[in-house]
Amino acid sequence: MLPNIEKVELQAMLDWLAGYGADEQGGVTRLLYDHAWCDAQHALAVKMQEKGLAAEFDQSGNLFGTLKADSGSSVTNGEHNLPIVTGSHIDSVVHGGKYDGAYGVAAGILALEYLKQQFGVPRRTLQVVSLCEEEGSRFPFAYWGSRSITGAACLDDVRELRDAAGARFEDAMTQAGFGPDSNYRSAKRHIGAFIELHIEQGQVLERLGHSIGIVSAIVGQKRFSVTVGGEANHAGTTPMIWRKDALAGAADMISAVRRIALQAGHPLVATVGQVIPDPGVGNVVAGRAVFSLDIRHIQQESMEQCWKQMLEAFTTIAEEHELELEWEEHLSVAPTSMDARIIHDIQEICLQEQLSSYLMASGAGHDSQIFQSACPTAMLFVPSCSGISHNPLEFTSEEDLMRGFRVLVRLLYKYGYGS
């Protein structure tokens, strides 16, 4: 049995890591293969080595720190030989916070250091990974790190993508020292299990007063662009009854989205975050309005049902207003369930640690949803202060960070050192 886990330098490591790509607002901007990202990833390799882990990059730029099992161990042969991997990503959104992704990486490194110091060589290989990319904030491609490890994506899928400045994906990768011509190993590899520790990026744990969120499933997403076509007209000279006001129609539709989502009930969420009227001038009746629609649920069927209801409502509204209606689905991600056995183990650890845990859906996407198709995968959340994320104000207290850390250490101990 583990002794009480004392405070480790987790907060200090997050502060240190946030120095790479630090912006004036106290936030972090580390985009795939940019300078801040390269410096951070190489500094983490050094840090892993200092902590007694073998550090190794792959061709995508993922960084693994390994605590290798005893070669004579009974679990080093066959399927059971595959390493247990923890970690997360170090890339950020533009002006992001210092916890998103970074927390899982730092906690993983310190967990392996702690376990090595306390218990020496494990019976099963443990690894921490600093994934190269999750956010999709430089190139229009998210989860590059985990997708290249699991084989869900390869260089051919991203090679010709361009960032906002016009840089080619492959060129950016090569300039950062990675890619097929580098001396690193290919990214694709088999792993035994993936465990991701992450901030919640929502308010559920904080509001309900829980310390640990155990992710049951990561929501699926459907994203649409809805276009309402009317007739641009002079705001003074066009009587109300003759108008085909695209924005008035869009407004009715946006109201309908909220009404239908509320009726569907938790955990369904549906959001219109953007609407663009055209010409978008105060004294012109809008001839066109385009709005975004984001629907999420842990069940595919519920998402489909909700979209169907919304589309029916949109169609009725368009007819009432004599407007045209077009829509385009530009993202469709299926929900994914986390591994039931690992969830059970985490629940047990939380009981032992006397931590209030809460089984919940993740409303945000994470690398875990990619790993889930390749190996047993689980995800742990700690509270996010006011749910703020992707923002310099992102914050989780050191106490909460340490609670998640303790659960991670006990879980890795169980899988790495247990019989």
Residues that bind its own copies (CB under 8 A): 200-204, 207, 219, 221, 223, 233-242, 245, 247-248, 250-255, 257-258, 261-262, 266-275, 277, 279-286, 292-294, 296, 362-365, 387, 389-390
Let me know: does 145 contact 132? Beta carbons within 8 Å: yes
CB of 93 to its own copies, least distance (A): 10
- SS3 (DSSP) at 379: strand
Supply the minimum distance, in Å, between the C-beta of residue 180 and its own copies. Answer: 33
Residue 71 or 283 with smaller CB distance to its own copies? 283
Helices (H), 141-199: 144-150, 155-158, 169-175
Pairing between β-strand 84-89 and β-strand 193-199 as defined by DSSP bridges? parallel
Q: Which residue has the tokens 């951070």?
A: 40
Q: Rounded to the nearest whole angstrom, what is the least distance from the CB of residue 310 to its own copies in the complex?
A: 13
Query: From the CB of 391, what's the least distance to its own copies, in Å?
Result: 8
- Alpha-carbon gap, residue 247 to 294, rounded angstroms: 19
Q: How far is the CB of 240 from its own copies (least distance, A)?
A: 5
CB-based contact 283:227 (threshold 8 Å): no
Rounded Cα gap, residues 212 and 404, in angstroms: 7
- Pull the structure tokens for residue 347: 């629940």
Residue 119 or 242 having the CB closest to its own copies? 242
User: What totals of helices (H) and strands (E) does the chain contain, helices first?
Assistant: 12, 16
Token digits for 107?
A: 């906690």
Nearest to 62 by CA among 91, 35, 83: 91
CB of 277 to its own copies, least distance (A): 6
Residues 177 and 191 sit within 8 Å (Cβ to Cβ): no
Q: Nearer Cβ to its own copies, position 130 or 362?
A: 362
User: What is the C-alpha separation between 85 and 108, in angstroms, rounded?
Assistant: 9
Identify which of residues 196 and 345 has a Cβ nearer to its own copies in the complex.
Answer: 196
Least separation in angstroms between residue 25's CB and its own copies is: 14
**CB-wise, 81 or 292, nearer to its own copies?**
292
Q: Measured from the CB atom, is 278 or 348 closer to its own copies?
A: 278
Q: How far is the CB of 274 from its own copies (least distance, A)?
A: 5
Q: How far apart are the two ends of the chain, measured CA to CA in Å? A: 12
- φ/ψ bin of 342: left (φ > 0), alpha (ψ from -120 to 50), beta (otherwise): alpha
Tokens of 123: 């019976």
Distance CA 90, CA 40 (A): 8
Of 39 and 163, the one with the shorter C-beta distance to its own copies is 163
CB 384 → its own copies: shortest distance, Å?
A: 8
Phi, psi of 370 (to 5 degrees): -80, -45
Indicate the residue among 113 and 394 with the shorter CB distance to its own copies.
Answer: 394
Choose between 209 and 273: whose C-beta lies nearer to its own copies: 273
CB 57 within 8 Å of CB 63: yes
